Chain A
Amino acid sequence: MNITLNIQRYNPDTDEESYFQQYQVDVKPTDRLLDALMQVKRFQDGSLGFRKSCAHGVCGSDGMRINGVDGLACKTLIKDIAAHDGDTVTVEPLRHLPVQRDLIVDQQEFFEKYRAIKPYLINDEPVAGKERLQSPRERMAFDDATSCILCASCYSACPIPVEQPDFLGPAALAQAFRFLADSRDRATEQRLAIVDTEEGAWGCQNHFQCTRVCPRSILITKRINETKRMIKQSKEKESS
């Protein structure tokens, strides 16, 4: 089928402002949006800028806004965004992050916020040359959060950063939960202190937009609420 890609363009070398450009592509309904973008890049206009790598939803490179919904171009099939011949699909860069070129955004701030929650296991207790034990139940307690690919789709979908640019955002908070809920980690207090703030867990107002768009189906909002409960419990413990 033939569809039109309506793509937001911006080249810092030449453009004052972004604009939209249309491309006609011949695609199969089961093609990925990424296939269509590659068709443009390879055979129509090599200057179109976007990131990509794995092409099957595991590396997090190609987060973008597709008909106003944040997601991965490689995990979005044409049939899910264009029902009929001649349909138009609008593609824009992710929100809340500075656009560097076309669909490429500057992820620095996103990664800084990730780093802020100390995204690594902290446990200085000695181990006797083997694994630390962890029951299957303990392991599953943080399972979904471990599959985050840091694609920033949730960050773009979240309405909070509009008013509150310092908000850590859904991905960083989900990763804080990932370590808070890991029975092997020993930095609970440190990490709770980081997220027990207005920029942290309390910034979340349960809009659920992140959960809706996450291509890894992480129950982000739920994990943030669990984190809020951990904060409360730890305070109750302190005061009792």
Chain B
Amino acid sequence: MIHNFDTVIVGSGGAGLYAALEASARSKTAVLSKLYPIRSHTGAAQGGISAALGNVEEDSAQWHAFDTVKGGDYLVDQQAAMILTEEAIQAVYDLENRGLPFNRTPEGRIDQRRFGGHTRNFGEGPVRRACYAADRTGHMILQTLYQQCIKNEVSFFDEFQVVDVIIEDGSCRGVVVVELATGEMHIFAAKAVLFATGGFGRIFKITSNAYANTGDGPAVCARRGIPLEDMEFYQFHPTGIMGLGILISEAVRGEGGILRNRDGERFMERYSPTLLDLAPRDIVARSILTEVRAGQGIRGDRRIDDYVHLDATHLGKEVLDAKLPDISGFCRTYLGIDPIDAPIPVLPTAHYAMGGIPTDVHGRVVIDREGTIIDGLYAAGECACVSVHGANRLGTNSLLDLIVFGRRAGQHIAEYVKDAPAPRPVADADEFARAWIDRLLDGADGPHGGAITDEMQVTMMEKVGIYRNKADMSVAVDQIQELRSRYQTVRVQDTGSRFNTDLLELIELGNLLDLSLVTAVSALHREESRGAHSREDFPERDDDTWLKHTLAYLEGDEVRLDYKAVDTSIWEPKPRTY
């Protein structure tokens, strides 16, 4: 079936919904989402959204931008970071005005707390910048935006999964979609398409990400010649629940929680004397792993799954109940412990993609080092790379990114579609998707996807994880290639049409494999250590050669790499100490 819209938004997390609110007010807009909107993973975000409101202590957007740049190990585009932090303030007020129930100060203002890497006066000490609603800030953002969409009668196509994007003559014409309920294939022709499909933590074994976080947007774009930017920078959050990867927010440390090794030592004193447990995530994650490798984990056996303790026992029941209730609940449910009585066993968990679909500050997709744009193609949120997170994102800056750049993209789209040519049908636009799906469904004998998924996740976790080196990553690239060729033989077990989740999951697996390959190849070639990308064989940051963004083009089974300049127009790169 063919549908015609001005604007199609793919994804209904924070980024998609904010863009939808803007775009739908001024253009005929459809929001497609493979999940019901309120099931999006934005709802899992816990700790907060940062903005220099200065409600509890002095703060400024400039300090915030500087922290963002330094936190990102100078791979951040600096003017974009200024936009992020300057627009943050009004963005948070807007959310409040639209109904978001933030926690409050005694004066009735939005309360703020500390988060990793956020400092006053260019690094002097921690600052309270994270606005929060208990430890379910993302849930509240998602709910508030969804509620506003209901109020504004935005049209949703729920459980519609995008499998391809239509690009012709340098402009985007629409998307190809499978409807879960019927198995029917749809073409949504549009003047503008925004991808807001979120992250892809599911390339790794242990992750804080949802099953649905399979990077469909970046994978679909990559197969259509769009490069992916800075894919080697993948953030491991220091504190996931041991074995499960469920996130324990940095807010626990923001409220005073302390990481301890087997001797009970506050080991962050040795790694980050100024910010201690609130150092940026890459640093804390490496510190934990270094402790574990030195036999200082809780078991002390130096094995990769040894862990450390996050001690919140001294925070008091009142703080845990009022400010960290959900996290306390996760500990009770999944670990059978109460953080008031016992420390939480934690290990780094794959968390956030700094890289993604390259965009400018209006969300327009940029396809090369010269800044060439595909008309009508936009991206925002975690699947995009503006880049405001550089080599390592600061906590609370992602929710902010969704709101600021989701809004900007929505506004730009509304303007763009006014004069853009009406969407034209493209002959056989669904040919590629049909061939793919027909193969999966053709009833031939073939393995199911479970084992391939497992092997991919283990390979990426072990060989393209926190610490990396050439030998491991070369093996990883070969293994992923091998899995990609095995994928060609995979077949569904469910050949039906209605609610064929088997089929849609296998399509997602194809996406994950492509992104694993791009990630591993990008990482293998960056011969330096910067932010989340830590090379054992190249332990130093090398600004002379590597102060540049990677652009990775997936060309069949090959990945071609190019690079583009970083905007360092405000602050000169300096060594990064905390």
Contact = CB atoms under 8 A, between A and B. Distances in A.
Interface of A: 11-14, 30, 32, 41-43, 45-47, 49-61, 75, 77, 100-102, 104, 107, 111, 115, 118-121, 127, 129-136, 138-139, 142-143, 146-147, 149-150, 182, 184-185, 217
A12 B109 CA distance: 53
B391 to A, nearest CB: 27
Contacts of B122: none
Interface string B77-98: 0000000000000101100111
Contacts of A136: 103-106, 108
B246 A147 contact: no
Given A57-B333, A147-B139, A45 B211 contact: no
Contact of A101 (B106, B499, B505): B499
B125 interface: no
B140 interface: yes
28 contacts: A11-B496, A13-B497, A14-B496, A41-B505, A43-B450, A46-B449, A49-B499, A53-B35, A55-B210, A55-B246, A60-B38, A61-B39, A100-B498, A102-B499, A120-B98, A120-B99, A121-B99, A131-B102, A131-B110, A133-B107, A133-B109, A135-B104, A136-B105, A139-B101, A139-B102, A146-B133, A147-B139, A149-B43
B97 A131 contact: yes
Given A46-B494, A55-B246, A59-B40, 4 more contacts: A53-B212, A107-B36, A120-B148, A121-B99
B98 A121 contact: yes
From A45, A138, A147, residue with most partner B Cβ within 10 Å: A147
B235 to A, nearest CB: 18
Contact of B139 (A41, A149, A182, A185): A149
Interface residues of B, number: 63
Contacts of B501: 41, 49-51
Contacts of A184: 99
Contacts of A51: 39, 501
A129 B502 CA distance: 49
10 nearest A-B residue pairs (beta carbon): A121-B99, A42-B450, A46-B493, A133-B108, A47-B494, A120-B147, A101-B499, A46-B502, A53-B210, A131-B96
Interface string B370-407: 00000000000000000000000000000000000000
Contacts, number: 158
A195 B210 CA distance: 35
Nearest to A56: B246
B139 to A, nearest CB: 6
Interface in B496-518: 496-499, 501-502, 505
A13 B496 contact: yes
A13 B139 contact: no
A90 to B, nearest CB: 21
B173 interface: no
B41 interface: yes
Interface string B169-196: 0000000000001000000000000000
A134 B104 contact: yes
Interface string B10-48: 000000000000000000000000011011110110000
A101 B498 contact: yes
Contacts of A142: 101
Interface of B: 35-36, 38-41, 43-44, 90, 92-93, 96-99, 101-110, 133-134, 136, 139-140, 143-144, 147-148, 150-151, 181, 210-212, 244, 246, 326, 329-330, 333-334, 336, 448-451, 453, 492-494, 496-499, 501-502, 505
Contact of B150 (A119, A131, A139): A119
A132 B97 contact: yes
A51 B159 CA distance: 11
A71 B210 CA distance: 19
A139 B103 contact: yes
Contacts of A146: 101, 133, 136, 140, 143
Contacts of B449: 42, 46
A45 B101 contact: no
A24 to B, nearest CB: 16
Contacts of A127: 93, 97
B139 A130 contact: no
A127 B92 CA distance: 13
A46 B90 CA distance: 47
Contacts of B329: 57, 217
Contacts of A129: 90, 93
A54 B109 contact: no
B448 A42 contact: yes
A217 B93 CA distance: 29
Contacts of A45: 493
Contacts of A118: 151
Contact of B498 (A13, A46, A77): A13
Contacts of A143: 101, 134
A133 B150 CA distance: 25
B463 to A, nearest CB: 22
Contacts of B448: 42-43, 46
Nearest to A148: B143
A108 B2 CA distance: 24
A43 B101 CA distance: 43
A165 to B, nearest CB: 22
A143 B92 CA distance: 19
B480 to A, nearest CB: 19
Contact of B492 (A46, A115, A150): A46
A197 B92 CA distance: 37
Contacts of B450: 42-43
Contact of B210 (A42, A59, A111, A132): A59
Contact of B147 (A47, A119, A134, A217): A119
Given A133-B107, A149-B139, A55 B93 contact: no
A104 B453 CA distance: 24
A32 to B, nearest CB: 8
B211 A58 contact: no
A111 to B, nearest CB: 8
B38 A149 contact: yes
Contact of A55 (B136, B140, B211): B211
A47 B96 contact: no
Contacts of A119: 147, 150
Given A43-B448, A131-B102, A146-B101, A104 B35 contact: no
A127 B334 CA distance: 43
B503 to A, nearest CB: 9
A56 B334 contact: yes
A100 B108 CA distance: 47
Contacts of B492: 46
